[in-house]
Structure formats: C-alpha cells, structure tokens
C-alpha cells in the first residue's frame, strides 16, 4: 500500500508518495490552481498514480497541508461575519491591546476589524471570573440578533461571551438559538474554539474561525469530491498548525487551526528525519520564493507557541513556533532614500518574478544575484524545464544596484546575498540564542527551494558547524505530512496560586482534559494502543503578565515538586533569572491528544565508492570576495550515492533546489541520502 502527502502552495502543489513496505519515495509537482485548489490536488493525484502504475485501491492514506485559511485571512476574502457578544463588549475586537503594529512608522496602520461595527450585536448576559451566573442570558435578544444578522446577509456568526471559558452554558444556548433562527449560518463559539482567558485574543481567534469557515468548508467539500471521484476509499486528513493531522470533519469545525498547515508539517518532518539520523537538535531553515521560515527542534521535538499574528490578527491556538521573515528568492533588492542597499521584504512573487525567469520582472532579486554569480544554473532550472536569462540578471543588477553604489556586478550581487543572509541569521538567533539555546549544539536543516543555497553562509554566520540538506528539499513539507500523527490540543484556564496543597485542583483539571481527549480520539477512530498524551502547564510568577510553558511527564498527586523545578528552569531559560521566594500562579492546563499513524521507514540510499557517477560537468562560479571566480564541478544529486564525500568548491543540483559548497566546505552523503555538510 502507498501513502500520499500533499502540500498546497501558492505556485506549486507538491506531492510525495511512499511505499509502506520499504519506504521508496517518489516526488511530483503540478501548478497550483488558486481559484480552486482542489483541482490541482485531483490532477496531481491522478498523474501520480498514472506515473507509478498504481490504482486508487493501492492508496492507504492521504494527508494534505493547505494555505487556504491563511490566504483568506491575508487577502481578507473571508465570509461576511457577525458577532453576538456580552453587553458592553462589542468594541473589544476593535480596541485590541492598544499596541502599534510598527513603533516608528506611522504609515503602518492596524488591520481592519474582522467584523464591521454594525454587525456586532450585544445581548444581556454575564458570568463572573469563576463562572457563576450574574446576569441570565436574554434569549429573546439572541433570537432578535440572529434575525438581524440573517437579514443583513451574514454568512458566519461568532459568539463570544465574557468568561465563557469558565462556564459555556450561555454560549451553548445562544448557539442553539442561532441554529433555530439562522440554520444556514456557519457558527463558531469561543468556548469551543478557544476556552482560554484573555478576552481580545479569544474573540479574535473565534471571529477568524467564523470568517474562514464557510469558504474552507466549500474547499473541503470539493477536495473530498475529487478524491472520491478518483476512487480513493480512505478519507483524507489535514495537517494543522501544531504539526498533527485531523479529520476533515474537525477541520470544518476549527479551520483557524490550519493557519500554519504546510510550514508546520515541514518542521515535523525535519524532526522525524533528525531523530532517525542522529541529529536531535536542529534549526529548521525553510526558504521559499517570498519568505524564510525558521524554527527550533530541541531534543528531537519541535518547540510550540500558543500565540501569533496572522496578517495583523492575533491567533491563539497551539502551533509550531515558526518565525517568518520577508526574505526569499523573489525578494527585491533596492537602494533606499539614504543610499543604502535593502533586500526585502517586498517580493517579485511568482509573477512577474525575478528578471532571470523571463516573465516580465524588472527589479533585481536574490534569485537574480544567485544566477548572476552562477551559483544557480545560468542556463535552466528544474532539470532543464525552466530556461534562465543570466545576461538579464547581470544587467538589472548592474543598472539598479552596482552603478548607483559604484560597485562591480559581482560585488553588488554578493552584497544582495550577504544582506539576505544577515536577515536570515537574525531570524535564527531570535528563536535560539535570544531564548537561551546555544547554537553550537544545533545543526541547520535546510529545505525549501532556496534553503540549501543560503544555508552554508548563514550557518557560518551563526556559528553552526553542520548543515543537513534532505533529498528534494523543495518538497519537504509534503514529505513531513507523511511523518505526522493525528493530534489535537485541549486547554483549560485554571488561574490560581498553586502550592503543594492546592495541586489537587490541577490534577482534577487534567483528568477532565483527558476525558475530552479520549472522546475526540474515539471520534477520530484511534484505538487505545495508538493513543498517547502530551501534558504542559502555563505558569508565571505572581505579578507577571506573561507565562512560560512547563512540559510535564505526568500530572499526578506527587508531581508538584517536578512542576516547580520545571517552571524555574523554563523561566531561567526564557528570561535569564529566577525568583525562588515568589509564589507561582498557574494559568492554563494543556493536553495534546496523539494518535499514532503508521509510517513507512526512511528508505536507505544506494551506496557508491565516489562521486564520479554524479559528475555533470563544470562551470565558473563566484565564491565571494575571498575566493573569486573558480572553475567548479557540478554534480547531479540523484546520482550521489550514500557514503560519497566531496570537498568544495562544488555545486550539487537537483530538481527542486541547489546546494553550493565553498572551497572550505566538505560533505558526505549519509545512509539515507541526506547531505551532511561541515562548515569550516
């Protein structure tokens, strides 16, 4: 049987198919279809099965990552949404946290409110912070609100009442009333989407879930229909922001949890590969056409966060902690008003793209600099399928960068790459050294189409000695989906000063979360032997505004001392100090339910004596001011056998990426075909 992983991107939809018996893997790409992403999925699966000579009955699993929800938020193309909330609180969504999106740039404004003010309706009801009813729910007002929103042609309704995370009965009853009066509406309640304290973040996340819900449901319906039409019997799964898989039914209810769908799968895949090959501490480095995503894997596990902004809107849901900057192959290089060279965050995108792509691009980009220095193939990319205009790349860099700065084309192109590398290195330090991790203990795991191009210089700048480049790095996110388990995060806000005597309340809270988790795993069809649970507690010192997360092996009657020690260690790592005599306040109890999914073993690569079979000629490559232009051997990655070693300078080309070795770099191909590069 075969397992298929799919990553739906803006330009290409990537496919990976793996044989469950021996781990043999095949990669495939088709152009994405933004108007209906499911069309590219259907075309790709059909083409993949045809090329491999397989029938739909041979497919045992389909997992997919999607950017549909993210794009709906970024492009503000979600459904027209209404809000029903507690009297006096309808403007919370607009007031927010009163923080500026950019401290010094007054031209950068806040994102517009997700729900227009005329569609935010207040009703009488009130809970106190312990969940006791102070004001009963005005059911007639809820009924009237539902009718008004229906008359306004609203498509989705968010329900968010004060302190509903403590007691959801008012929200549940309001949802029942809306279903009676407005059955065609997509409804999201905060007690289902995010049962946590912090009113603004809970409301923002619930409103986002409602906004993307109707169109996400339409996409999922089309996706399922295409899979069924192909004759694939197994229901597909979707990877969500914590790197786990969940059923289509769960995605329909919680689409906001897919905001980091594809990138999270790449991190999960990197962690799985790293554990197999003996690298448990990794910095993932995913460089695409418009952005660079970096994340940290410590002791074999990705780091997670519960809060981030998507297009200026707070999303509070457990997700892989990925830091994103605007630096990718299409990032534009330009001279600013002060006469300095800047690179990014603006991008030429896929259309018109870099000048070298000959699609109408007119501004120099990082890709143009790579082509001009012949680090990238100056004739064609994608195994010869995509012609390249190297003269155009050199010309635009000469006119737009070199001439204004009185530099040679080589110096200008190298300057573009070095600035981009510096920005990427800064992003890596923000997720590592700034959080108390020593980069000397980590390897850099480079993937994405442009990751291996920049990884060696970035590693050198960060003090990282080893770079790992997986096979076909441009399809790593699709591959990661096949290495993901079923999972879902449950949370309960339990705000209380806790000492050993009060620990029993936390034990009870986790028992309740375990019941919820087991019910969900049963719904997902996960049997008992495949179930596991990951526990964590959010806590802070009294007087602090923000908490740190403490991982727990168990939460039982005798575990308070382990929690206290873990909290002090986490606080010291995060903030650099500890306050031994201050009381500890617990905020949230978290439990991740995990259902293990069968995974094909990584397929060992064929062994070889040397690199001669992979030698594909030579070309002149500029290796920086220190080495200049050098005649450099070029190798075909597919023909590099396991056990082969190479000393730079060298260029290793494959369909989805290129790796450039400087004279000071060396590599070996490990047993699974990964390039293990040592940076001097």
Q: Pull the structure tokens for residue 48.
A: 């993949």
Q: CB of 8 within 8 A of CB of 65? A: yes
Report the pLDDT value the prediction gives residue 569, as an integer from 0 to 100. Answer: 93
- Residue 206 domain boundaries: 73-216
**Packing angle between helix 451-462 and helix 409-431, nearest 10 degrees?**
70
Q: Write the pLDDT tens digit of every residue in 110-135.
A: 888 999 999 999 999 999 999 999 99
Per DSSP, the residues of 65-109 read E--HHHHHHHTT----EEEEEETT-TTHHHHTT---SSSS-TT-P
Task: Look at residue 17 and tell me if it is in a domain.
Answer: no
544 in a structural domain:
yes
Q: What is the CATH number of the domain that holds 543?
A: 3.30.1490
Three-state secondary structure call for residue 449: coil
pLDDT confidence bin for 554, thresholds 50/70/90: very high
Residue 407 domain flag = no
For residue 329, what pLDDT is reported? Answer: 86
**Residue 603 pLDDT greater than 90, yes or no:** no
pLDDT of 62 higher than 80? yes
Domain end point (choices 595, 630, 645): 595
Q: Are residues 621 and 555 part of one domain? A: no
Query: 156 and 96 in one domain?
Result: yes
| pLDDT at 23 (0 to 100) | 79
Residue that terminates a domain, selected from 216, 247, 266: 216
Q: Is residue 654, in this structure, part of any structural domain at all? A: yes
Q: Same structural domain for residues 496 and 537?
A: yes
Instruction: Give the pLDDT confidence score for residue 359 in this predicted structure.
Output: 86
Sign (positive or negative) of CA dihedral 70, 74, 79, 84: positive
Q: How many residues does the chain have?
A: 680
**Residue 78 CA neighbour count, 13 Å, CB half:** 28
Q: What percent of the chain has pLDDT over 70?
A: 99
Q: How many domains does the chain have?
A: 3
Backbone angles phi, psi at 22, to 5 degrees: -130, 0
184 by Cβ neighbours in 10 Å (0-12 / 13-18 / 19+) ranks as exposed
Among 565, 595, 625, the domain boundary falls at 595
Higher pLDDT pick, 652 / 20: 652
Residue 166 has pLDDT above 70, yes or no: yes
Tell me the angle at which helices 139-151 and 169-181 cross, rounded to the nearest 10 degrees: 40
518-549 pLDDT, tens digit per residue, is: 999 999 989 999 999 999 999 999 989 889 99
- Determine the angle formed by the axes of helices 390-397 and 409-431, rounding to 10 degrees: 90
pLDDT at 349 over 80: no
pTM of the complete model: 0.85
| Higher pLDDT among residues 143 and 290, named by residue | 143
505 & 619 share domain:
no
Dihedral sign (CA 350, 354, 356, 359): positive
pLDDT digits (tens, 9 = 90+) for 478-518: 889 998 999 999 999 988 888 888 899 999 999 999 999 99
pLDDT reading at 57 higher than 70: yes
Is the Cβ–Cβ distance between 453 and 376 less than 8 Å? Answer: yes
Q: What is the pLDDT of residue 636?
A: 95
Q: Is residue 173 part of a domain?
A: yes
pLDDT of residue 11: 65
SS3 265: helix
- pLDDT band of 218, cuts 50, 70, 90: very high
- pLDDT value for 656: 82
Q: Do residue 172 and residue 144 come from a single domain?
A: yes
| Banded pLDDT at 308 (limits 50, 70, 90) | confident
CA-wise closest residue to 488 among 286, 184, 253? 253
3-state helix, strand, coil in the chain (%, to 5): 35, 30, 35
Does some domain include residue 655?
yes
What pLDDT score was predicted for residue 350? 67
Residues 549 and 628 in one domain: no
Q: What is the pLDDT of residue 4?
A: 93
547 in a structural domain: yes
- Among 79-83, 182-186, 230-234, name the one with the lowest average pLDDT: 230-234
Could you tell me what percent of the chain has a pLDDT over 90? 65
Would residue 212 count as lying in a domain?
Answer: yes
Q: Is there a single domain that holds both residue 503 and residue 571?
A: yes
């Amino acid at each position: 049987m075969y397992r298929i992983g799919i990553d739906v991107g803006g330009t290409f939809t990537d496919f990976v198919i793996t044989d469950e018996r021996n781990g043999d893997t095949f990669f495939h790409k088709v152009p994405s279809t933004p108007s209906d992403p499911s069309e590219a999925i259907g075309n790709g699966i059909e083409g993949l099965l045809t090329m491999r000579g397989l029938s739909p009955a041979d497919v045992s699993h389909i997992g997919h990552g999607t950017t549909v929800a993210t794009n709906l938020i970024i492009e503000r193309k979600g459904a027209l949404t209404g809000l029903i909330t507690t009297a006096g609180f309808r403007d919370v969504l607009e007031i927010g946290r009163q923080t500026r999106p950019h401290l010094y740039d007054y031209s950068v404004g806040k994102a517009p409110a997700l729900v227009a003010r005329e569609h935010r309706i207040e009703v009488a009801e009130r809970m106190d912070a312990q969940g006791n009813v102070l004001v009963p729910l005005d059911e007639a007002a809820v009924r009237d609100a539902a009718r008004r929103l229906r008359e306004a042609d609203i498509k989705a309704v968010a329900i968010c009442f004060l302190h509903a995370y403590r007691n959801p009965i008012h929200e549940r009853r309001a949802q029942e009333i809306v279903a009676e009066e407005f059955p065609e509406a997509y409804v999201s309640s905060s007690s289902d989407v995010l049962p946590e304290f912090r009113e603004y973040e809970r409301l923002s996340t619930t409103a986002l879930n409602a906004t993307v819900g109707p169109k996400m449901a339409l996409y999922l319906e089309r996706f399922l229909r295409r899979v069924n039409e192909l004759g694939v019997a197994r229901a597909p799964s979707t990877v969500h922001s914590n790197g786990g898989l969940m059923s289509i039914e769960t995605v329909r209810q919680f689409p906001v949890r897919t905001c980091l769908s594809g990138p999270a799968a790449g991190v999960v895949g990197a962690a799985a590969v790293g554990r197999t090959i003996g690298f448990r501490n990794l910095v993932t480095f995913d460089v695409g056409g418009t952005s660079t995503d970096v994340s940290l894997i410590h002791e074999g596990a990705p780091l997670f966060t519960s809060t981030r902004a998507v297009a200026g809107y707070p999303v509070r849901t457990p997700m892989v902690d990925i830091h994103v900057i605007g630096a990718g192959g299409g990032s534009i290089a330009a001279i600013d008003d002060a006469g300095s060279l800047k690179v990014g965050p603006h991008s030429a995108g896929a259309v018109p793209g870099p000048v070298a792509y000959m699609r109408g691009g007119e501004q120099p980009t990082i890709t143009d600099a790579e082509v001009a220095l012949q680090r990238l193939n100056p004739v064609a990319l994608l195994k010869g399928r995509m012609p390249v205009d190297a003269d155009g790349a050199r010309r635009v860099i000469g006119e737009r960068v070199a001439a204004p700065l009185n530099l040679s084309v080589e110096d200008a192109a190298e300057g573009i790459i070095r600035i981009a590398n510096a920005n990427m290195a800064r992003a890596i330090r923000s997720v590592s050294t700034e959080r108390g991790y020593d980069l000397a203990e980590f390897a850099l795991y480079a993937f994405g189409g442009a990751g291996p191009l920049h990884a060696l210089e970035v590693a050198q700048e960060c003090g990282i000695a080893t770079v790992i480049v997986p096979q076909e790095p441009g399809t790593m996110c699709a591959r990661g989906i096949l290495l993901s388990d079923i999972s879902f995060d449950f949370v309960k806000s339990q705000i209380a000063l806790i000492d050993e005597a009060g620990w029993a309340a936390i034990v009870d809270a986790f028992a309740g979360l375990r019941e919820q988790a087991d019910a969900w795993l049963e719904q997902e069809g996960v049997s008992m032997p495949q179930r596991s649970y990951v526990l964590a507690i959010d806590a802070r010192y009294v007087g602090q505004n923000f908490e740190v997360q403490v991982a727990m092996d168990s939460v039982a009657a005798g575990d308070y001392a382990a929690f206290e020690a873990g909290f002090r260690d986490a606080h010291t790592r995060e903030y650099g100090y500890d306050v031994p005599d201050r009381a500890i306040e617990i905020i949230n109890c978290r439990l991740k339910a995990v259902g293990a999914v069968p995974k094909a073993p990584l397929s060992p690569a064929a062994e070889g004596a040397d690199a001669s079979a992979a030698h594909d000629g030579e070309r002149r490559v500029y290796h920086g001011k220190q080495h200049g232009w050098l005649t450099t051997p070029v190798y075909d990655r597919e023909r590099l056998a396991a056990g082969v070693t190479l000393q730079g300078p060298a260029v290793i080309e494959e369909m989805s990426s290129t790796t450039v070795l400087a004279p000071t770099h060396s590599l070996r191909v490990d047993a699974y075909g990964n390039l293990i590069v040592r940076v001097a």
